[in-house]
Amino acid sequence: MHTVDSIKNKNTVKEYSDARKAQSIQDMIGRPSTKDYIRYVENNMLLNCPNTKADIICAEDILGPNLGSLKDKTTRTKPSKVIINTYAEMLKKYGDITLAVDIMYINEIPFVMITSRAIHFGTEELIKNEKISTIMIALKQVIEAYEARGFQIGHILADGQCEHAQKYIEQVGIMLKSPVRMNMSQKSKDLSGW
């Protein structure tokens, strides 16, 4: 990495002093580009200018390009094209959704946390109690939100807290899988996407 101090040490004190003067004068005359500044000096367009072409080149070498002369004068490069997956492609790839459901407590207040496995869309809902009817209302809202957008919920992964909701979930055509009841090979296969 090159710093002003390391480059300054390669030059004499006079060269550094002349470089500072050259950059100071460049600022005073409206910060023209280095190419234009050299042309002004070579054609004697600046009366009584103490700088030479060498001073200007040395100033750019030691102090770097004059930032004021670069602002609003450099061209903006065209950014690379951003490729966005379309909604149809997303539906085709992730049409069958698996939801992971859990009840989480924050300051002893229960929340139903629901995350989709493939698209990682997460929802949470405050529930007043852990009754089956309350949990099912929260689940139905999320399922309806997915189905309204064309996704199909195939499986729900839940621990023992939601096990008592199994018959209600299976009535709407969704399989409930509990990691506790699965054998270890099936559990690692099903939970690998978490």
Check whether 42 has a pLDDT greater than 80: yes
CATH superfamily of 87-191: Ribonuclease H-like superfamily/Ribonuclease H (3.30.420.10)
- Where b means 16+ CB within 10 Å and e means fewer, 24-61 reads ebbeeeebbebeebbebbeeeeeeebebeeebbebbbe
Q: Which of the pair, 108 or 9, is modelled with greater confidence?
A: 108
Q: Which residue ranges make up each domain of the chain?
A: 4-70, 87-191
Look over the chain and give the mean of its residue pLDDT values, rounded to a whole number.
79
Q: What is the pLDDT of residues 106-121, one digit of tens each?
A: 898 889 888 988 788 8
* pTM over 0.75, yes/no: no
